């Protein structure tokens, strides 16, 4: 296993692979073109950026067997897809902003799959070969807006509604990984990725039948319980996936 980061050198972003406390800068923009430059840089001295630049972010709803179904609901027969804006991405430590019109905010810990090469109609048996690596994501949702709108385009896409961990873990399979959502120090979600209804290879196959997947695209694979943890301004929320990473963000009111 190894990790990729993206960092700022001067005014330009660069990629690097991380080994221990050392970053090894790379030429290229995705795994198919990466080459080491021969440099070595101390990781602690780098200004880290989001490690991928997704053209699109595909979310999957109700994808865990431990979902807390509401009256009249059933587990889906096929993946429930939605899109999330790349402008919602938020680095670790930065505040999640609750818009003035939102009364109910929730945070959802999710395994994010980073696509490593372009593919369309990818067979399930070949899907793992299209993965760059994995990240930890917090799919922040305006729960009251979600109920009111029915469609999720607004509830999922406010700026700051997608905190992400700061590196891509590569060279490992899809788990099972332990996921946790922690609010103000209390663990409120604790589950494993093998509880997914539709596992990662099947999701890649299904989604690539709908749209072409490209390097850097993200697939958010769903959250245990289905609806996340309610949060409010003043809370601090951390989403963590064991072995992959975490992001910890305060919740503030939008200015």
Query: Could you report the per-residue pLDDT of 15-44, keeping only the tens digit for each?
Result: 999 999 999 999 998 999 999 999 999 999
Cα of 180 vs its chain's centroid, Å = 14
Asked whether 19 and 2 are in contact (CB, 8 A), the reply is yes
Do 6 and 70 lie in one domain? The reply is no
Q: What pLDDT is recorded for position 243?
A: 92
CA triplet 90, 232, 63: central angle to 5 degrees? 65
Do 153 and 209 sit in the same domain of this protein? yes
Quote the number of domains for the chain. Answer: 2
The 3-state DSSP class for residue 81 equals: strand
- 242 forms beta bridges with none
- Cα angle value 213/24/55 (rounded, 5°): 20
pLDDT at 187: 97
* 111 in Cβ contact with 175 (< 8 Å): yes
Per-residue confidence (pLDDT) for residue 48, from 0 to 100: 94
Specify the pLDDT at position 255: 63
- Tell me the whole-structure pTM to 2 decimals: 0.95
Provide the domain limits for residue 32: 2-49
Asked whether the beta carbons of 191 and 64 are under 8 A apart, the reply is: yes
Q: Are residues 105 and 64 in the same domain?
A: yes
Mean pLDDT, 10 residues at a time, over the chain (255 residues)? 94 95 95 95 95 96 84 83 97 94 97 97 97 97 94 95 97 88 97 95 98 98 90 98 96 86
Q: Does residue 197 sit in the same domain as residue 240?
A: yes
Strand ranges (E), 56-185: 57-61, 80-84, 89-90, 96-98, 105-107, 109-115, 131-138, 141-142, 162-163, 168-170, 178-183
CATH number at residue 76: 3.90.850.10
C-alpha 119/C-alpha 214 separation (Å) is 7
pLDDT of residue 207: 98
CATH code at position 20: 2.30.30
Q: What is the CA radius of gyration of the chain?
A: 18
**Could you tell me which of 225, 234, 199 has the C-alpha nearest to residue 143?**
225
Same domain for 22 and 147, yes or no, is: no
Q: Which two tokens stand for residue 34?
A: 């990466």
């Amino acid at each position: 296993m190894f990790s990729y980061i993206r960092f700022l050198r001067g005014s330009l972003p660069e990629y690097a692979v991380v080994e221990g406390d050392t970053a090894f800068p790379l030429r290229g923009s995705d795994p198919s073109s990466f080459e080491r430059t021969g440099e070595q840089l101390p990781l602690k001295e780098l200004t880290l950026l989001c490690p991928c630049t997704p053209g699109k972010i595909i979310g999957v709803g109700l994808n865990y067997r431990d979902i807390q179904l509401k009256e009249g609901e059933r587990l889906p027969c096929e993946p429930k897809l939605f899109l999330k804006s790349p402008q919602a991405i938020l680095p670790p430590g930065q505040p999640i902003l609750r818009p003035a019109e939102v009364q109910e905010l929730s945070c959802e810990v999710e395994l994010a799959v980073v696509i490593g090469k372009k593919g369309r109609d990818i067979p399930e048996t070949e899907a793992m070969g299209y993965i760059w690596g994995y990240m930890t994501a917090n799919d922040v949702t305006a729960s009251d807006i979600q109920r009111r709108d029915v469609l999720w385009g607004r509830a999922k896409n406010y700026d700051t509604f997608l905190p992400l961990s700061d590196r891509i873990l590569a060279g490992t399979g899809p788990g099972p990984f332990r996921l946790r959502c922690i609010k103000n120090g209390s663990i409120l979600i604790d589950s494993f990725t093998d509880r997914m209804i539709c596992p990662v290879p099947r999701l890649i196959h299904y989604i690539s039948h709908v749209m072409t997947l490209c390097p850097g695209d993200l697939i958010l694979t769903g959250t245990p319980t289905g609806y996340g943890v309610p949060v409010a301004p003043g809370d601090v929320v951390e989403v963590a996936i064991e072995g992959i990473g975490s992001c910890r963000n305060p919740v503030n009111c939008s200015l």
